[in-house]
Copies of this chain bind each other. A is one copy, B any other.
Amino acid sequence: MDIIKVSARSVPKLVAGAIAAVIREGKPVEVQAVGAGAANQAIKAIAISRVYMTEAAVELICKPAFTTVVIDEVEKTAISMVVEALA
């Protein structure tokens, strides 16, 4: 699955565009965020991508879960949100 990594400095509108681009290819996408600031930008991005896709008559849903990522050889807990079109 395509993975989009979001940081606290990511721009939600740009991330939303990236999410929508993958969804338009008919694929789900995993959005990953480490830390509160990143998680906040990620959820904002998903909210915006839902607006984008509503315009295309596609309803997006997300499935949040915990995952582990390795950053600079250190394991960190990340929030993983799989975003997909509601069947």
> Which of chain B's residues has its CB closest to A46's CB?
B64
Q: Is A44 an interface residue (CB 8 A)?
A: yes
Interface size range on A against B: 20 to 34
Partner of A79, one of B36, B37, B47, B64: B47
Q: B62 touching A64 by the CB < 8 A rule?
A: yes
A36-B40, A39-B43 given; A63·B61 CB < 8 A: yes
CA distance A50 to B64 in the complex (A): 8
For A40, list chain B residues within 8 Å (CB): 35-36, 39-40, 79
> Which of chain B's residues has its CB closest to A60's CB?
B63
A36-B36, A39-B40 given; A47·B64 CB < 8 A: yes
In the assembled complex, the CB of A50 is this many whole angstroms from the nearest CB of chain B, namely 6
> Contact string, A28-55, partner B, CB cutoff 8 A, digits 1/0?
0000000111011001101100110000
